[in-house]
A and B are shown apart, each in its own frame.
Chain A
């Protein structure tokens, strides 16, 4: 199933120019893995930036720079950075994108019956945070709001709030949007969600969230 809802060009530009903090970049990256059209847009922006580099004013390198690098190119490449953390058992049938696998996941917490969330590591750069959220089929994810933007990449299944979002879709919500998501009865839904500031839960989930410190 391929999505029909995509990140805005503004967001893709922030991503491609390295201006997006890593928590939301992980969520955008998850969408890119499954969306050829958006990958094309990113390549286009990178091409433009690359031309910018080719034609930009050079800065003087230190005298020993070339010599130093030539001495190092024969070295065996340093071992690749620490291997990605092991896949968490609790994931079950949730297939996580490479960006999440590379970053690793924190401990899972239940938010409510049928709904759990796990923070993506390295994703707590204030004010952004990114969580992996998984909800059972037919579950209603309680009403919640957020003070800043909210980005959602649907990894599996589908949900609806005002519109229908399927695997591969991307939602970009403005600050303050207060919404309640309902997972399709066909199967469970997994999403990556990046928010600026904590999610503001309402009702029961707010109590659970406050008590459990989610």
Chain B
């Protein structure tokens, strides 16, 4: 580095601190930024319901991310406070998501089906098959299915209309759905 290259002045504004970190990994600026912002970020996290230790950890992670991502800071686009806020907010959202979905994406995921243009054809066949399958149902099951799915009647309405106990209506619908499900097994 040449003699004339300007070392960052003792920066006084948060924007300048972040720029000094981006340009020259300036530890003094980072210490100033940490001292000023970490307690405020922690306060923000506590106000949003995080426990003491989680808020402490996330405030530290936020400032660590500021060091690592300093090049991405654009003072024309956002103030230092706004930029640090978005980092803290995103870390908080990620934490909440991890707590809600600890193994997200690992469960309930069926293997990718082999997807070919034939799938399109299969889909076109779905409705035809469904209609055919319904025709194979016992008449009493087809009747409750018709009323329930195509005429949008509630189960009690169907029961009173057909003069059947509610339990019978429910079991017929269940049987009919199971029958269709096996008839359409190839499409599930």
Chain A residues near B (Cβ < 8 Å): 17-18, 22, 25, 43, 46-47, 49-54, 56-62, 65-66, 68-70, 72-73, 77, 88-90, 104, 106-108, 110, 112-116, 121-122, 124-125, 202-204, 206-208, 210-213
Given contacts A46-B78, A53-B44, contact A90 B64 (CB under 8 A): no
Q: Check if B60 sits within 8 Å of A65, measured CB to CB.
A: yes
Give the Cβ gap from B21 to chain A, nearest Cβ, in Å. Answer: 9
Give the Cβ gap from A59 to chain B, nearest Cβ, in Å. Answer: 4
Q: Check if A121 sits within 8 Å of B104, measured CB to CB.
A: yes
Give the Cβ gap from B169 to chain A, nearest Cβ, in Å. Answer: 15
* Stretch of B4-12, B111-119, B153-161 on the interface side: B111-119
Give the chain A neighbours of B105 by CB distance below 8 A.
104, 121-122
Given contacts A77-B68, A88-B112, A212-B188, contact A53 B123 (CB under 8 A): no
Q: Check if A122 sits within 8 Å of B124, measured CB to CB.
A: no
Given contacts A69-B63, A73-B67, A110-B187, contact A58 B43 (CB under 8 A): yes
**In terms of DSSP, what is the predominant structure of the interface of chain B?**
helix
Q: Check if B126 sits within 8 Å of A208, measured CB to CB.
A: yes
Given contacts A65-B60, A211-B180, contact A18 B112 (CB under 8 A): no
Show 12 residue pairs from A and B whose CB-CB distance is below 8 angstroms, ordered by the A residue: A46-B85, A49-B89, A53-B37, A61-B39, A66-B34, A73-B27, A90-B115, A113-B126, A125-B101, A203-B149, A210-B149, A213-B188
Given contacts A47-B78, A112-B126, contact A61 B86 (CB under 8 A): no
Give the chain A neighbours of B166 by CB distance below 8 A.
none
Q: Contact partner of B85 among A25, A50, A124, A208, CB < 8 A?
A: A50
Q: How far is the CA of A88 from the CA of B39 in the complex (A)?
A: 44
Q: Contact partner of A50 among B35, B63, B83, B119, CB < 8 A?
A: B83
Q: How far is the CA of A211 from the CA of B145 in the complex (A)?
A: 12
Q: Check if B30 sits within 8 Å of A73, measured CB to CB.
A: yes
